[in-house]
Amino acid sequence: MARQNPGSKKRVTSYDVARVAGVSQSAVSRAFRPGLSVSDKTRTKVMKAAKKLGYKPNAIARMLITQRSGMVAVIISSISNLVYPELLSRVTDQLSARGVRVLLFTLDHSDQLEELLEQVWTFQVDGVIALTAHFDHRDIAQFEEHNIPVVLYNRQVPDHPVNTVCVDHSQGIRQLIDLLVENGNKRFIVLSGPPDSDVANERRRIALEHLAEHGFADVPVLYGDFSYQSGKDCFAEWMQDHGAPDAVVCSNDTMAIGCIDQARGTHGIDVPEQMSVVGFDGMYAAFWTGYELTTVRQPVNQMAKAAVDILMERIENPDAPPEKRVLAGTLIRGKSARA
């Protein structure tokens, strides 16, 4: 194998540990993978023998024996969307707790996806969690061909069952809209994320539908890219030809913060007294007292755990059917919407 401790004479193998522990080699192999089932009694025997012999499982040897790499690919993009760092951190913690490492892939443009997937196959990861990325049914079919389970975060694939963990966008956005309507807002605009984003499209669709249910049809939509600057730019563009609306429904917190800064800084609008702005995500900066957004907080811890649970189950049992878990967000009654 590639490297050994310089001090070691002959490498201690899992077979040596098995002999001393009086268990099968397979039991040793399983005992060193926290995600796999092995009785506490067997694990104790194995660990005692391993310690005695100075055994350290070697990742390559383990890969050859278990046909597992002990790695999960995590695909992420839009690092400027500040909800993802927190999510990446939680997913990494959840996988670490199961003895699995994160192989990180960043995707700046969707046209890099094919090349990225080639790398995923090459590194023979045990599974994939896609925090951000647009997958179509052909992409998902490739995962099926390679027998690599995948879990998507906050997105689905039309007409194709796939493992996914979603925040309940519908429940969350309806609560935000209800709050705005109850407080007497009548003139709305929507600042949406980009039309090539599944998440943006879903959030916009739900907002417009629920506004229409309240009798507010044909609400104007402006399109940004989820970034702070695009929140500023969209609102500035609106103000060129219109007066301030009563309320701005933003597709995420980062755009909401941009909108608030533009409204306060350039147009002298008092948020929330003269205009309400709501976001979505509940990222760290949403709670800063300079903003204190009215928003919906994604249950990031629970969603990260659910994504990892679903994935580990599929790694253990590849025949398990695709599963969708939807977790409710929490309405945060902040200070960016008039109460």
**Binding status of residue 47 toward its own copies by CB under 8 A:** no
Spell 10-31 as b/e; 16+ CB within 10 A means b: eebbbebbbebbebeeebbbbb
User: What angle do helix axes 113-122 and 137-145 make, rounded to 10 degrees?
Assistant: 10
Residue 147 C-beta: closest distance to its own copies, Å: 6
Phi/psi for 173 (5° steps) reads -70, -35
Phi, psi of 150 (to 5 degrees): -135, 145
Give min distance, CB of 236 to its own copies, in A.
11
d(CA 141, CA 153): 18
Contact pattern for its own copies over residues 292 through 331, marking x by CB under 8 A? ----------------------------------------
- Chain mean position to CA 95: 13
Residue 103 vs 326, nearer CB to its own copies? 103
The residue among 175 and 276 lying less far from its own copies, judged by its C-beta, is 276
Nearer to its own copies, 15 or 123 (CB): 123
Q: Which of residues 101-160 bind its own copies (CB under 8 A)?
A: 101-106, 108, 118-119, 121-124, 145-148
For its own copies, the closer of residues 141 and 320 by Cβ is: 141
Tokens (6 digits) for 107: 């995707």
Shortest Å distance, C-beta 178 to its own copies: 28
Interface with its own copies by CB under 8 A: which range of 1-9, 22-30, 174-182, 302-310?
1-9
Beta bridge partners of 281: 297
Alpha helices of 192-282 — where are they, by DSSP H?
198-213, 228-241, 253-265
Let me know: does 190 contact 206? Beta carbons within 8 Å. no
Our CB check for its own copies shows the closer of 239 and 285 to be 285
Minimum gap (Å) between residue 104 Cβ and its own copies: 4
* Residue 92 vs 175, nearer CB to its own copies: 92
The two tokens of residue 35 are 């995600």
Total number of residues shown for the chain: 339
Minimum distance of its own copies from residue 105's CB (angstroms): 8
Q: How many positions of this chain bind its own copies (CB under 8 A)?
A: 61
Nearer CB in complex with its own copies: 40/145 = 145
Q: Does 2 bind its own copies (CB under 8 A)?
A: yes
DSSP track, 123-174: TT-SEEEESS----HHHHHHHHHTT--EEEES--BTTB--EEEEE-HHHHHH
- Please give the residue ranges that form the binding site for its own copies (CB under 8 A): 1-3, 5-6, 56-60, 63-64, 67-71, 74, 79-80, 82, 84-86, 88-89, 92-93, 96, 101-106, 108, 118-119, 121-124, 145-148, 228, 232, 257-258, 260-262, 264-265, 284-285, 288-291
